[in-house]
Every structure is written in C-alpha cells, then in structure tokens.
Amino acid sequence: MNGLHGIIFSYEKEPGLRELVERRMPGSIPFGGRYRVVDFMLSNMQNAGITDVGVVLHGNYQSLLDHVGNGKTWDMSRKYGGLRILPPFADSHRHHSEEYRGKMEALAGVRSYLEEIRQDYVVLADSDLIINIPLAEVYRSHVLSGADITCVCRQDYQSTENATFFELGADNRILKTLCSPKKPTGYHCLEIYILSKELLLRLVDECAAEEKYSLRRDVLNGMSGSLNLRGYVWNGRAAQIRTVQEYFDKSMGLLEPAVYRDLCAAGRPIRAKEDDEAPTYIAPESSCVNSLVADGCIIEGTVENSILFPGVTVKKGAVVKNSILFKHTVVEEDARISFVIADKYVLVRKGETLAGNASYPMAISKNSVV
C-alpha cells in the first residue's frame, strides 16, 4: 500500500511531565522497558505499509533526533521518501521562535514539504500516543466511507487535560466537537486523522490566510458544516501521557500480561532502536518477579513490580519495588526504592531510601546522584 503518507507531530511541551521532559520532548520519553513513546506511532505506520513519514518538530528535539536517526529501524531509510525530520522551515511566513499554537500552524510551517508528498492520503498523528492500531484498516474505512476527514476516537474518559471529544451520530458521523469540555462525554479524540493530501493542502492554506491555527477548533468545529467528518471508533487500548502520574500508571499497567501483549507483543510488532546490549544476568540469591526487564541488566538484589530499561544494575541487598528505572540506572547495595521513576544514568547510593507514593511517584532527573 503506497497510498498513505504519515505526519507525526512532536512540538507540544507537556509541563505535567516535569522531570521526564526536562531534556526531551514527550515523544522521546522511554516507555515499557525498551521503547520511546514515538516508536508506537512509527511502528503503527510501518505496520500499515507506510514508507514516507514526516516528523514535525519544535522545541527540545535533540533526544528525539538521536532516537529516530535515519529511520532505519522502521525500514524508513529509503532512496526515495522514507523518514523526514521537519523542523520549522525558514520559508514559512511566521518566524517560529515560539511553540506552534496548533496543528494547522505546524503544518503551515512545513507547507513546502506537504506539497511534495507522493501519496494521495495523509495520516496525521501525535508522537506521544501509545497505541498499537492497524492504520491500514482505518485507511480502508476512510476511503470506503467517503468521509473528508476520519478521526480515530475511543470511548474513554481518562482525565487528560485539554482533550477533544466527539458526539457521534449515525454511521459515526461527527455531530459535534467539544474542545476541553469540563465534563467529558461521547468519544475521546485520539488525534489520529486521515484525509486526502488535496484537502490537507486546501485546509492549511485557508487557515493560514485567516490566521487560524487549531485543527480541532478551526477545522473540525469551524468547518463542520462544509466537511463530512467521521469518527473511527477504536475499541483497543490507547494512552495519551500528559502527566507523571499518567506515565506511571500506564507503565505499571504493562505488568498485566494482557495489556503488555496487546500493546507490545501483538502480531503488529513495535520496533525500537537497537540497544546492542547482551542478555540480562540474574544472579544467585536474587529475586525478580512481576517485572519487565530489558537487556544488559545485572540483578543481584530484589526487584518487584518494576520496569527495568537496558543496562540497569541492582546490587546485592538493594530492593526495587513499584519503580521504573531508565537506561543505566544503578541502585547500589542495600538501597531501597519504591514508587520511583529514575531517569537515565541515575545513581542511588548505598543504603539510601527513596520512596514516592502510588498517587505521587517520585521522578528523578537524568544523571542525578542520590
């Protein structure tokens, strides 16, 4: 299938993610023991046969660039097309020193790229949505339904701030779009949209001409009279992560085998950049239960209900419970940690005790020595 082109947005700062976004965009937050959040959307696109993807960037995107590289991981390092990184272009009429205010503005910022798209249809998606969805099916349903824009949505009322909700009518036609409603009702918009390239370009130009920047307000809401908008109801799992608490809860949810299977081990694989670590070694007289463990770890202590990223060391006598330890974290002898999210290269010294709470996990910045 060569009819669909991918656009992934990574420009929104999420202050609710605190320490986790000190040095990165939400899309490059490590998730699930070996992934970055953006791996999910890139893999969804790869699994749908999409070969050309543009990643619209703004902000502190160095970590994201390091991670996606040339796109080889998702077979998107191509002679023609493939993965393209799209920082704000100098030719856009506004100088984007500030954050994009909305998707339409972000798209206008890369207008010249959009024109070169080789495919007839485009799927727009956020880099920070955790989902394993068959986009090929969404695309088929879009073409069959004759809709102008198909919006993926789901019946959930998680307390995501700034969320969009749809009221659906017959044939899943979108009757109403609610932006950040006080009381969520209807279908939660997952910010995955499919539309034709032609319509996309027209909408970008129309919005730019009227200084409009928001996709949901100015297009979904503002043009609902003239556009045929349809919801695609997704009944599977999905998570938008906007706060440390949501990050913690969704991560821990993976310890439920069914969740882990649906998201990471389904027939549609999620691919992540290779870490080139040797297998993990679990020492005698250690214990490691109900946990996800990546490669390159050395476990000599006790690990329970936790997620360990590559190269984590848990020394003798150390106890790690209900925690998420990013790459190369070291927990020294007899240290005890619980409800902690330790960013990369954190060192927890011998005998220290660190405890967060299930309702307020403690996040520790990269390279900290505690």
Partner 1 sequence: MKKECIAMLLAGGQGSRLYVLTENMAKPAVAFGGKFRIIDFPLSNCSNAGIDTVGVLTQYRPLELNAYIGSGQPWDLDRNDGGVHILPPYQSATGASWYKGTANAIYQNIGFVDMYDPDYVVVLSGDHIYKMDYADMVERHKAAGTACTISVMEVPWSDASRFGIMSVDENDTITEFAEKPKEPKSNLASMGIYVFTWSKMREYLIADENDPNSDNDFGKNVIPAMLGSGEKMVAYRFAGYWKDVGTLDSLWDANMDMLATGSGLDLLERDWPIYGRSTSAPPAFLGKGSHVEHSVITRGCTVEGKAENSVLSENSVVEEGADVEYSILMPGAVVKKGAKVNYAIIGENAVIGENAVVGAAPDGSEGWGISVVGPETAIPTGFTLAAKHMIDSGMKEVAR
| Residues that bind partner 1 in the complex, under the rule CB under 8 A | 32-34, 43, 72, 257, 260, 264-265, 269-272, 274, 276-296, 298, 307-308
Strand ranges for 208-277 from DSSP E: 229-233, 238-240
Inter-residue contact 345 to 364 (CB < 8 Å): no
Which of 6/311 has CB closer to partner 1? 311
**Residue 2 CB neighbours (<10 A):** 12
Q: Long-range contact list for 335-341, CB < 8 A, 24+ apart?
A: 339/248, 340/364, 341/19, 341/20, 341/244, 341/247, 341/248
Which of 86/324 has CB closer to partner 1? 324
**Taking the complex as a whole, how short is the minimal distance between the CB of residue 85 and partner 1, in angstroms?**
21
Q: How far apart are CA 310 and CA 340, in angstroms?
A: 17
**Taking the complex as a whole, how short is the minimal distance between the CB of residue 297 and partner 1, in angstroms?**
9
**Taking the complex as a whole, how short is the minimal distance between the CB of residue 329 and partner 1, in angstroms?**
15
Inter-residue contact 337 to 331 (CB < 8 Å): yes
Which of 167/277 has CB closer to partner 1? 277
Token couple for 272: 């992540």
Which of 278/369 has CB closer to partner 1? 278
Q: How far apart are CA 334 and CA 313, in angstroms?
A: 13
Which of 174/325 has CB closer to partner 1? 325
Q: How far apart are CA 106 and CA 200, in angstroms?
A: 12
Torsion of CA 182, 185, 187, 193, to 10 degrees: -30
Which of 171/276 has CB closer to partner 1? 276
Angle between helices 135-145 and 37-47 (to 10 degrees): 60
- Chain length of the chain: 370
Q: The sheet that has 287-289: what strands, in order across it?
A: 287-289, 302-304, 319-321, 336-338, 353-355
Which of 170/289 has CB closer to partner 1? 289
Inter-residue contact 122 to 197 (CB < 8 Å): yes
H/E stretch holding 340 reads strand 340-342
Which of 43/240 has CB closer to partner 1? 43
**Taking the complex as a whole, how short is the minimal distance between the CB of residue 289 and partner 1, in angstroms?**
6
**Taking the complex as a whole, how short is the minimal distance between the CB of residue 65 and partner 1, in angstroms?**
20
**Taking the complex as a whole, how short is the minimal distance between the CB of residue 228 and partner 1, in angstroms?**
37
Which of 31/121 has CB closer to partner 1? 31
**Taking the complex as a whole, how short is the minimal distance between the CB of residue 263 and partner 1, in angstroms?**
8
**Taking the complex as a whole, how short is the minimal distance between the CB of residue 177 and partner 1, in angstroms?**
35
**Taking the complex as a whole, how short is the minimal distance between the CB of residue 79 and partner 1, in angstroms?**
13
